[in-house]
């Protein structure tokens, strides 16, 4: 039988992220590809205790629950966001989602008609682009430098395209690892307010900040009336990914519709996990755990940085990450990282080619390296393998 | 700020199911409204042991996982479906979802363009109608009797509307509690094959069968080539709802696209729960547990039946459920169950008015009663309260 599908499926494809997970699962390859935290650092004892407490709380913990999410957890999230200066919202304005990925999906579902425009950094989070495209929204890239979107280009494109939304990952972005300056955050919000556009602030990495003294206020914290910014984050990087628990907060009008859309999507997210995460926040020193993660990931980043400095390849450039999980590397223009991947994996090291992260045609001479999932030993070994592959690749280009 | 939403949101609304959950949570009302299993019967010790085993299996259990679902669980599901005669599929053809609700959503996402037609029983599962409408599909009701859809009406409508799909809940349906005859199952499949239409078989209640001697083969088990039927079910009624774990199987071409759509939606469903459910299936006597549920729910159904027989209201009719969780009651045509609900809740008993379950305008003199969530004591007390309200309502109508 021949099946008839929706027009939407044209935009569906097995993504790089999926292929990454397959590489990672293939034994001997040292992978800098996936955006994975290190499972060896998971707070497994704390989490197990939190599950035990949830089971001990009675059978009702296992019944159907509210679409919006477990209320005590939403209260905790409000308190945690307040510490970041996000003060415009109450638990009613929070929707618990199946990872922050679902927050992007539900937002898109209630906001985009086919042909609607969304502005995004370029490059940006690949799986967000895939969601926007699955709703037939039209994504336009905005020029950026190491401080964030260029305000002039942003304003010009807001005026030209009248977008419904500006999507940003301003703090330790995926894939670039960059962090926006305070000035650019304020400029973005001012433009959003001037032209009545919603800012969708995706902040999965904000807690993994290496330098305590610097301050990166979420854009949502600057929006004192709580009218122009939706803010989403997740427990996947700070606790564990398997529980698939993220959340989104913002203007109630939008959150309420997203909640109704979620009801049709899946009724509610796993509520046992939500209750366990509530107990984890209450009984376990999650902040101390995050400090440990920061120390460990900072050390791994510096180790990778040292290897990059040693390699010192002509034409290579990168910004030293101030947090998060990624290095974003630009190579000599002659390099094609997609072509090079098979050789690298053969040699025992994996990365993600940078081009799929771009809106439209991407730079083929870019790649993303994750420094959180591999042990220090594997980072050293893997970076040596990668440097060899890069050097050989250069020589082949120079002497064909 | 005024927000601009997608056209889809016209079809979103707080559903009766949601309002039901709110009534249920309001203390003293005896509720026959929600479609809830009884939490007192949950296999909590078995499940807690299954979680402990998952935690003991190592930290990797808490890492990101594959979109398709935990492979050993998919293997177990294939085995369990084989016992029902569903033999055309392997683990590759199974997608684990956030409840079977998400299976309906993902199917709709990859299949329906705005204006596409889907045929459904009438009345049928409310939250499925909401999903179809959220993708702007056009639902057409097919006439049914107590044996299933009327084949003549079905064929006439297939020819007239050229639907992409026929949605059915053939075994102990929600809301009607009815079960299709074998003949009607075969006729439906034959029509689907003749006209190249997909059958979406929603089977959350099939395991809760009161009479062991009767056989209700899933329509998917009759589709020996595995080309025309998608089959979805869930652990929500047989184990616990909080884990939000369902699954769907069917032709790989469709499952693969649904899996890609799911990757954009939420990456994957909670995988700790999937691993725990795998251990529950392996180490715990889930079939024995289901037998216990059947005995208990059958006794409660009979108790409710006894109260209905005692009430013996003129104009009342119903079919005695052979499984599942619901009585579907039709009352004298003068009764409006939506109007009557406020009075009933005031008196301390809740039900769901039947009209929202219909495609298009529904019968206002219908209601759905759940017999699984209330204890026998509550069923007796609640049915007395409900009978009083119904009797008074009749008298008011007769002597205005």
Kindly report the average pLDDT of chain A as a whole number. Answer: 93
Give me the residues paired with residue B30 across strands.
B349
* Average pLDDT of the segment spanning A158-184: 97
Reported confidence tier of residue B198, pLDDT bands at 50, 70, 90 = very high
Q: Tell me the chain B residues in contact with residue A134 when contact means C-beta distances shorter than 8 Å.
A: 109, 261, 264
Whole-number pLDDT of residue B1: 84
A71 close to B (CB below 8 A)? no
Give the end-to-end CA distance of chain A in Å, rounded to a whole number.
50
Residues 6+ apart with CB under 8 A from B154: B119, B142, B166, B187, B188, B191
* Average pLDDT of the segment spanning A307-324: 94
Rounded Cα–Cα distance for residues A349 and A343 (Å): 9
Residue A57 tokens read as 């709380």
Whole-number pLDDT of residue B19: 62
Kindly report the average pLDDT of chain B as a whole number. Answer: 93
Select the residue of A4, A60, A261 nearest B12 (Cβ to Cβ): A261
Whole-number pLDDT of residue A20: 53
Whole-number pLDDT of residue B17: 44
B92 close to A (CB below 8 A)? no
Which region among A61-75, B10-24, B140-154, B320-334 has the lowest average model confidence (pLDDT)?
Answer: B10-24
Residue pLDDT, tens place only, A105-154:
999 999 999 999 999 999 999 999 999 998 999 999 999 999 999 999 99
Question: Is the per-residue pLDDT at B191 higher than 90?
Answer: yes
The residue that leads in pLDDT, A319 or A22, is A319
Give the end-to-end CA distance of chain B in Å, rounded to a whole number.
50
Rounded Cα–Cα distance for residues B177 and B172 (Å): 4
Residues 6+ apart with CB under 8 A from B229: B189, B192, B198, B199, B200, B201, B219, B220, B222, B223, B250
- Range(s) within chain B of domains with CATH label 3.90.1150.10: 7-42+288-395
Reported confidence tier of residue B26, pLDDT bands at 50, 70, 90 = low
Element (H, E) at A350: strand A349-350
Q: Tell me the chain A residues in contact with residue B164 when contact means C-beta distances shorter than 8 Å.
A: 4
The residue that leads in pLDDT, A218 or A312, is A218
Q: What is the largest CA-CA distance in chain B?
A: 71
B372 close to A (CB below 8 A)? no
Whole-number pLDDT of residue B11: 76
Residue B131 tokens read as 């999903």
Which region among A185-199, A240-254, B5-19, B46-60 has the lowest average model confidence (pLDDT)?
Answer: B5-19
Question: Looking at chain B, which residue has its C-alpha nearest residue A198?
Answer: B3
- Range(s) within chain A of domains with CATH label 3.40.640.10: 57-283
Under DSSP, is residue B272 helix (H, G, I), strand (E, B) or coil?
Answer: helix
**From start to end of chain B, where are the E strands?**
30-31, 94-98, 117-121, 138-142, 144-145, 148-149, 165-168, 198-202, 229-234, 245-249, 317-318, 326-330, 349-350, 352-353, 366-370
DSSP state of B259: H
The CATH number of domain B60-283 is 3.40.50.2300? no
Residue A300 CA to its chain's centroid (Å): 19
Q: Are strands A245-249 and A229-234 parallel, antiparallel or unpaired?
A: antiparallel
- CATH code, residues A7-42+288-398: 3.90.1150.10
B48 close to A (CB below 8 A)? yes
Q: Min CA distance, B389 vs chain A (Å)?
A: 28
Rounded Cα–Cα distance for residues B18 and B357 (Å): 14
Q: Min CA distance, A212 vs chain B (Å)?
A: 27
Rounded Cα–Cα distance for residues A251 and A247 (Å): 14
Q: Tell me the chain A residues in contact with residue B40 when contact means C-beta distances shorter than 8 Å.
A: 59
Q: Are strands A349-350 and A30-31 parallel, antiparallel or unpaired?
A: parallel
Residue pLDDT, tens place only, A268-291:
999 999 999 999 999 999 999 999
Q: How far is CA B73 from CA A256, B70, B94, in A?
A: 34, 5, 10
The residue that leads in pLDDT, A16 or B73, is B73
Reported confidence tier of residue A198, pLDDT bands at 50, 70, 90 = very high
Q: Tell me the chain A residues in contact with residue B60 when contact means C-beta distances shorter than 8 Å.
A: 39
Name the architecture of domain B7-42+288-395: Alpha-Beta Complex (3.90)
A399 close to B (CB below 8 A)? no
Question: Is the per-residue pLDDT at A16 higher than 60?
Answer: no
B244 close to A (CB below 8 A)? yes
Whole-number pLDDT of residue B398: 58
A260 close to B (CB below 8 A)? yes
Select the residue of A44, A55, A110 nearest B5 (Cβ to Cβ): A110
Burial per residue of B331-348, b for 16 or more beta-carbon CB atoms within 10 angstroms, e otherwise = bbeebebeebbeebbebe
- CATH code, residues A57-283: 3.40.640.10
Whole-number pLDDT of residue B9: 85
* Average pLDDT of the segment spanning B360-387: 95
Residue B178 tokens read as 């009815």
Residue pLDDT, tens place only, A299-310:
999 999 999 999
Whole-number pLDDT of residue B12: 75
- Checking ipTM against 0.85, whether it exceeds it is yes
Question: Is the per-residue pLDDT at B400 higher than 80?
Answer: no
* Average pLDDT of the segment spanning A343-366: 92
Q: How far is CA A227 from CA A161, A250, B288, in A?
A: 21, 7, 54
Q: What are phi and psi of B151, to 5 degrees?
A: -55, -35
A251 close to B (CB below 8 A)? yes
Asked if residues A143 and A123 have their Cβ atoms less than 8 Å apart, the reply is no
Rg of chain B over Cα atoms, rounded to whole angstroms, equals 21
Reported confidence tier of residue B377, pLDDT bands at 50, 70, 90 = very high
Select the residue of A14, A59, A113 nearest B6 (Cβ to Cβ): A113
Question: Looking at chain A, which residue has its C-alpha nearest residue B275?
Answer: A242
Question: Is the per-residue pLDDT at A376 higher than 60?
Answer: yes
Q: Say yes or no for a CB contact (<8 Å) between B5 and A257.
A: yes
Which region among A56-60, A232-236, B23-27 has the lowest average model confidence (pLDDT)?
Answer: B23-27
Whole-number pLDDT of residue A17: 44
Question: Is the per-residue pLDDT at B220 higher than 50?
Answer: yes
Whole-number pLDDT of residue A207: 97
Select the residue of A1, A134, A164 nearest B264 (Cβ to Cβ): A134
Q: Min CA distance, B340 vs chain A (Å)?
A: 25
Rounded Cα–Cα distance for residues A182 and B332 (Å): 68
* Average pLDDT of the segment spanning A261-271: 95
Q: Min CA distance, A261 vs chain B (Å)?
A: 6
Question: Is the per-residue pLDDT at A380 higher than 90?
Answer: yes
B62 close to A (CB below 8 A)? yes
Q: Say yes or no for a CB contact (<8 Å) between A102 and B67.
A: no
Quote the pTM value: 0.95
Which region among A68-77, A92-101, B130-139 has the lowest average model confidence (pLDDT)?
Answer: B130-139
Asked if residues B297 and B208 have their Cβ atoms less than 8 Å apart, the reply is yes
Whole-number pLDDT of residue A339: 87
* Average pLDDT of the segment spanning A83-95: 97
- Range(s) within chain A of domains with CATH label 3.90.1150.10: 7-42+288-398
> Which of B37, B267, B356, B370 should one mutate to test binding to chain A, selecting the residue with the greatest count of A CBs within 10 A?
B267
- Range(s) within chain B of domains with CATH label 3.40.640.10: 60-283
């Amino acid at each position: 039988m021949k099946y008839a599908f929706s027009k939407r499926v044209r935009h569906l494809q097995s993504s790089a992220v999926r292929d990454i997970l397959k590489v990672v699962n293939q034994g001997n390859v040292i992978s800098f590809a996936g955006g994975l935290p290190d499972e060896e650092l998971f707070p497994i004892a704390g989490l197990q205790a939190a599950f035990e407490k949830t089971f001990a709380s009675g059978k009702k913990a296992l019944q159907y629950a509210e679409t919006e999410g477990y209320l005590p957890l939403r209260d905790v999230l409000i308190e945690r966001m307040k510490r970041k200066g996000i003060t415009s919202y109450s638990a009613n304005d929070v929707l618990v989602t199946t990872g922050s990925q679902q927050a992007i999906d539900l937002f898109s579902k209630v906001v985009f008609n086919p042909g609607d425009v969304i502005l995004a950094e370029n490059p940006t989070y690949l799986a967000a682009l895939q969601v926007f495209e699955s709703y037939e929204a039209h994504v336009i890239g905005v020029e950026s430098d190491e401080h964030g979107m260029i305000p002039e280009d942003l304003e010009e494109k807001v005026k030209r395209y009248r977008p419904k939304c500006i999507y940003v990952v301003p703090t330790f972005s995926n894939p670039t690892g960059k962090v926006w300056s305070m000035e650019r955050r304020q400029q973005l919000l001012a433009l959003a307010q001037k032209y009545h556009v919603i800012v969708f602030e995706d902040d999965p990495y904000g807690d993994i900040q290496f330098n305590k003294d610097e301050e990166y206020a979420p854009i949502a914290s600057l929006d004192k009336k709580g009218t122009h910014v939706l803010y989403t984050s997740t427990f996947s990087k700070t606790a564990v990914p398997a529980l698939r628990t993220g959340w989104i907060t913002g203007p109630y009008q939008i959150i309420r519709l997203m909640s109704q859309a979620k009801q049709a999507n899946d009724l509610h997210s796993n509520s046992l996990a939500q209750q366990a995460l509530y107990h984890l926040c209450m009984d376990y020193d999650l902040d101390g755990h995050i400090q440990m993660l920061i120390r460990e990931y900072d050390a791994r980043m510096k180790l990778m940085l040292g290897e990059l400095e040693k390699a010192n390849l002509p034409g290579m450039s990168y910004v030293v990450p101030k947090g998060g999980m990624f290095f974003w590397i630009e190579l000599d223009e002659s390099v094609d990282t997609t072509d090079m991947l098979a050789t690298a994996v053969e040699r025992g090291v994996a990365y993600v080619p940078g081009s799929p992260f771009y809106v439209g045609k991407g730079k083929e001479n870019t790649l993303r390296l994750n420094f959180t999932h591999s042990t220090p030993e594997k980072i050293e070994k893997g970076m040596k393998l990668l440097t060899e592959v890069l050097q050989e690749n250069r020589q082949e280009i120079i002497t064909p």
